[in-house]
Amino acid sequence: MDFNDTPQEAEYRAKARAWLEDNAAEYREPPETAWKLDEFIQRSKAWQAKKFAAGYTGITWPKAFGGQGLGPMQSIIYGQEESRFHAPSGLYSIGLGMCIPTVFTHGSAEIAERYVPKALVGDEVWCQLFSEPSAGSDLAGIRTRAVQDGDEWVIDGQKVWTSFAHASDYGIVVTRTDPSVPKHKGLTMFIVDMKAPGVEVRGIKQMSGGSDFNEVFFTGVRVKDTHRLGDVGNGWKVALTTLMHERLAVGGKPRHAPGYETLMKLARGVEAPVGGPAIEAGDVRQRIAQSYINDQGIKLTQMRALSALSRGQMPGPEQSISKVVVAKTMQEMASFALDLAGGDGFVTGADGDPELAKLQGSYLGAAGLRIAGGTDEILRNIIAERVLGLPGDLRPDKDKPFNAAA
């Protein structure tokens, strides 16, 4: 395993780094206060348009769809360099990372021509409508239905935990079109206009104070058959395209997440109950060492995925290991850090310590990360069955008609 850039990769990294130095200078430091939604969207669109003009969007996408036609290593290198800044790119992470690749892989040429260019330049924002109140990680258990009516489909049902639905123009929605067959075989996916009559978006207030997630209700929403992605009843295979991109996207450590260095800095500044800096206490040093070990394990697992990509291979199911370890480590590390800070760990607001605020955000956000992109339990099943080769989990409803098993 060689962690160094090839000469070609080093040249691309230098070019991207120089461009970012010239164009992302205002995002070198995080904003002093979180942007309001309108400002966040305005800044996100401006940043996306700037990246598009410079050729740093759709890096791996085919040139026929407006992409750059480069390899995954170039995309990763650009992402690594951009992560040194605090530029507003999260608004497009789901649309460009998961939805649009599904659209140009499974949609018609006319559909791709209509939607892909506007998404690339940032004119249109997309969301992914998968999870439901009774079907989270068990995506094949969804109940939102679509019934064909001439050359249109009528959608009724509810989705939940839909990131940025309140700011999206379009979404990809997986529906049940045939409840008389086993649950994986009766699904169909569509593109839906988020401003269409019958679409209602309700924000979910998160315990962190944010409201990035939403409930989305569909009441008689009409979608043209031309906006179907893949064949009728083939939605599970189409969804796997999206899920493959999702698992890759959420498998690593979030940008700017605190690490063992944060713990060391904090432990040097607080006093242990027995006196002296906390970093001199044996139990504190042991917890910091464990965080370092976890961080290095995550880093090396990600390097394994990068090595596969550099050889033209796709990372395998072992990528699920990173996701499980990252979310658990973030939650445990932030919990320990806030305990270490004592009463100050509970102080929030504009006058609070920015470093502690970052740890508080990490603690509250990590709970959601343990659900997003597959719960810990689902991913452990994947690791057990597809990495370790253990016997499969018992699935008594797998071959039964959905309406008989429900």
For residue 246, tell me if it sits in a domain.
no
Tell me: do 208 and 276 sit in the same domain: no
> What pLDDT is recorded for position 226?
97
Residue 280 and residue 233 in one domain: no
Nearest CA-CA partner of 28 in 256, 183, 217, 196? 256
CB 346 within 8 A of CB 310: no
Report, as residue numbers or ranges, the catalytic residues: 246
- Residues 140, 234 within the same domain: yes
Task: Name residue 75's amino acid.
Answer: S
Q: Name the token pair of 81.
A: 């360099």
Provide the pLDDT for residue 248.
57
Structural contact between residues 173 and 129, judged by C-beta atoms closer than 8 angstroms: yes
Structural domain includes residue 378: yes
The CATH number of residue 164's host domain is 2.40.110.10
**134 and 169 part of one domain:** yes
Could you tell me how many residues make up the chain? 406
- Residue 356: inside a domain, yes or no? yes
Distance CA 126, CA 167 (A): 8
For residues 134 and 229, membership in a common domain is answered with: yes
Q: Is residue 145 part of a domain?
A: yes
Residue 151 in 3-state DSSP?
coil
pLDDT score of 249: 55
pTM: 0.85
User: pLDDT digits over 57-106, tens only?
Assistant: 999 888 988 899 998 889 889 998 998 999 998 899 999 988 999 999 99
For residue 135, the enclosing domain spans: 126-239
Q: Which residues of the chain have pLDDT under 50?
A: none
- Whether 263 and 336 have beta carbons less than 8 Å apart is answered as yes
**Count: domains in the chain:** 3
Same domain for 163 and 135?
yes
CATH code of 368's domain: 1.20.140.10
What would the two tokens of residue 324 be? 């499980």
* Domain-embedded: residue 394: no
Instruction: Give the DSSP H or E segment for 147.
Output: strand 145-149
End residue of a domain, out of 88, 116, 142: 88
Query: Do 271 and 357 reside in the same domain of the chain?
Result: yes
Residue 270 confidence (pLDDT) = 87
Note the pLDDT of residue 211: 81
pLDDT for 135: 79
- Identify which of 91, 93, 88, 87 has the alpha carbon closest to the alpha carbon of residue 25: 87
Radius of gyration of the chain (CA): 22
Query: CA-CA distance, 130 to 142, in Å (whole number)?
Result: 8
Task: For residue 148, give both structure tokens.
Answer: 């064909």
